[in-house]
Amino acid sequence: MNYQSQIAEAAQFLKNLYPDNPQNLIILGTGLGKLGDQIDVELEVDYSEIPHFPISTVESHSGKLIFGTLAGKKVVAMRGRFHYYEGYSMKQVTFPVRVMKALGVKRLFVSNASGGLNPAQEVGDVMIIADHIDLFPENPLRGHNPEEFGPRFPDMSEAYSKKLIEKALKIGEKLGVKLHTGVYAGVQGPNLETPAEYKYLRTIGADAVGMSTVPEVIVANQTGLEVFGISAITDLGVEGKIKRITIQEVLAAAAVAEPIMANVMKELIASLD
């Protein structure tokens, strides 16, 4: 079965279970787990039940698709995403975005944990993604491009919605929380960066670095979805502040940022037309 047929079969399977058309896809990456708890759940589906869907292999990603309502808006949320470092191809990593587009989703809200590169950042801070640098070795648009996927050469001059960024910054002011904005560099991982790599990434214009998000955002832009991205700064790649880090420490730092990220995201979704 070809890729298009797999997308169609997965989408039809989900439509049969949930006939409503959610407008908003939320990828609950590291730092947004609690937001999932605030969704008024109407349907929960394990990834393993969905035809052709990949399975999360990362310990902190539970692997469930949630349909329901958040702040009065219909949403579908992914509890757990897929990473290139898990051994998946970019087509598999971005398969859920294609399926959700087929379900009628209009917007993508994505979160992640990242290493801070900007000296102004501290562990536990939150950064709204204004742009990204793609350093992955494979592009999700590589290969055959069916017409229904979108343009062969999609424009990326506003990969992240300026309108949504502006709204989020105003929400941050209203809530009295500190929000950075910056450029996210996407790398394949899974190892963390060397000090020389941190320095290189900062030199080329990155404010944070992580191992996700960029593939999904590229596909979202090709398919015409409006995108908003947010990062929890879980460790620092700033010269003089680099130290050994464990996944437990990353998760603990993400937990500090989580209430801010969840509140901003919830208010932002509530503000949508």
Residue spans of the domains in the chain: they are 3-270
Q: Render pLDDT for 99-152 as a digit per residue (tens, 0 to 9).
A: 999 999 999 999 999 999 999 999 999 999 999 999 999 999 999 999 999 999
pLDDT at 128: 97
Q: Render pLDDT for 164-190 as a digit per residue (tens, 0 to 9).
A: 999 999 999 999 999 999 999 999 999
**CA neighbours within 13 Å on the CB side: how many for 72?**
6
From CA 191, how far away is CA 175, in angstroms rounded? Answer: 35
Cα dihedral 52→36→185→187 (10° resolution): -40
- Cα angle at 116 between 261 and 156, to 5 degrees? 75
pLDDT at 30: 73
CATH superfamily, region 3-270: Nucleoside phosphorylase domain (3.40.50.1580)
Lowest mean pLDDT among 25-29, 198-202, 210-214: 25-29
Give yes or no for residue 161 having a pLDDT over 80.
Answer: yes
